[in-house]
Structure 1
Amino acid sequence: MATPTAERVRIIESKVLSDDWYVLKKTTFEFLRRDNVWQRQSRETYDRGNGATILLIDPARETVVLTRQFRLPVFVNGHDGMLIETPAGLLDEASPEERIRAELEEETGYRVRDVEKVFEAFMSPGSVTEKLYFFVAHYDSASRVAAGGGVASEGEDIEVIELPLGQALAMVERGEIVDGKTIMLLQFLALRLARR
């Protein structure tokens, strides 16, 4: 019988390197390898809390709602910085469903009745603690209750984009949509529709 993971990890030291925007820690630990040897390792973890994201689809027209906004980390990594994404946000102590409804309306101006959680995923488990909750929901023209665009005082300047699902998937293939959470939800939706 395998040893439970909690019994295979010994935390030696945990140091906070930065506690400005979020928390960056350096942890030294020992891990019991499968060959029964304890190996000392050191890793940095960035804790920004958990988040939620959602893809809206109009099933009658097979269109989806996405956003476009500037992202500095992708800009400094050689992208033009204007990233096409599904609406998303950190939970900030709210439930994933509660948070994604508020974030959706704030970013896109759409209000939906029913949201469906489809899966959870760790997006960068080698260094970031964040887990994302993924949702889908139906929308139509009556679902738009405001302009959206985000919160200017938080540095948000969000463009709302409505596209045919097929066009969004083609944009993934062409490298025009490169955000991981967005690609995951678009592919999930495409697979779901293909099974019907």
Structure 2
Amino acid sequence: MPDTFKPGPDAVEIVEREACFRGFYSLDRLHLRHRQFSGEMGPVLNREVFLRHDAVCVLPYDPQRDRVVLIEQFRVGAMHKSDNPWLLELVAGLIDKDEEPEAVAHREAMEEAGLKLGALWPITQYYPSPGGSNERVHLFVGRCDSEGVGGVFGLAEEGEDIQVHVWPFEDALDAVKDGRIDNAASIIALQWLALNRAEVRGLWQ
């Protein structure tokens, strides 16, 4: 990278910001320019940005039985791109109140899976689609007891209809390999656990 490029407060200039839509989510159109690697300011660009609350995703893991808890629900975004728009996912929710990510993980585990989590192991934070959205995901593994877990959960007032599954860890990893699990948070969490399972089990058993 050239020495002339110095990201800082003056690296991006917002010329104009338009509110295109306001609802549960929001959409803004930005007219901006940013400093280029040459050190010069680039031309004005027009970019739409999808504004979302940050999200929390947690993979409930039973270290005693080496099992994970996954949820299955309908996802409108997959409706015309997948033969089956009911996706296998992690427990997840939005930080739409004055809550810490850890509190959201515990709350959503109970709402979506009837599951009481123990310790949380932070995996990472990441932007799932930074080219067009400002959402940032907080990703965890959560310790749980999977014995007797299952059923259908979710908040009726939010139209949630969530089936809970308990899988041996290796079966879940195989579902990543063959494409049955095809959403980013689940893939990242399961692959992370594959790399760190011995350490997690050693500390949590």
1:91 aligned onto 2:91: no
Amino acid at match of 2:48: E
Percent identity of equivalent pairs: 31
Amino acid at match of 2:116: R
Q: Is the Cα contact below 8 Å between 1:106 and 1:148 reproduced in 2?
A: no
Provide the residue aligned with 2:117 in structure 1. Answer: 112
Q: RMSD of aligned C-alpha atoms?
A: 1.9
Provide the residue aligned with 2:22 in structure 1. Answer: 19
- State the Cα deviation string for residues 136-158 of structure 1 (Å, max 9, x = none): 122114695x9561101101000
2: CA distance between counterparts of 1:68 and 1:113? 22
1:123 aligned onto 2:139: no
1: CA distance between counterparts of 2:147 and 2:165? 16
2: CA distance between counterparts of 1:78 and 1:131? 25
In the TM superposition, what are the counterparts of 1:52-63 in structure 2 within 5 Å?
Answer: 52-63=56-67
Provide the residue aligned with 2:35 in structure 1. Answer: 32
Q: Is the Cα contact below 8 Å between 2:25 and 2:51 reproduced in 1?
A: yes
Q: Is the Cα contact below 8 Å between 2:59 and 2:189 reproduced in 1?
A: yes
What's the offset of the Cα at 1:162?
0.4
What's the offset of the Cα at 1:79?
4.0
What's the offset of the Cα at 1:6?
2.4
Q: Is the Cα contact below 8 Å between 2:123 and 2:189 reproduced in 1?
A: no
TM-score (normalizing by structure 1): 0.92
Give every structure 1 segment of 4 or more consecutive aligned residues whose post-TM-superposition deviation is greater than 4 Å: 141-144
1:6 equivalent among 6, 9, 25 = 9
What's the offset of the Cα at 1:76?
2.8
1: CA distance between counterparts of 2:183 and 2:143? 21
Amino acid at match of 1:10: E
Cα 1:22–1:39 change in 2 (3 A) is same
Provide the residue aligned with 1:175 in structure 2. Answer: 179
What's the offset of the Cα at 1:113?
2.5
Give 3-state SS (helix, strand or coil) of 1:56's partner: strand
Q: Is the Cα contact below 8 Å between 2:152 and 2:161 reproduced in 1?
A: no
What's the offset of the Cα at 1:121?
0.7
Give 3-state SS (helix, strand or coil) of 2:194's partner: helix
2: CA distance between counterparts of 1:38 and 1:75? 39
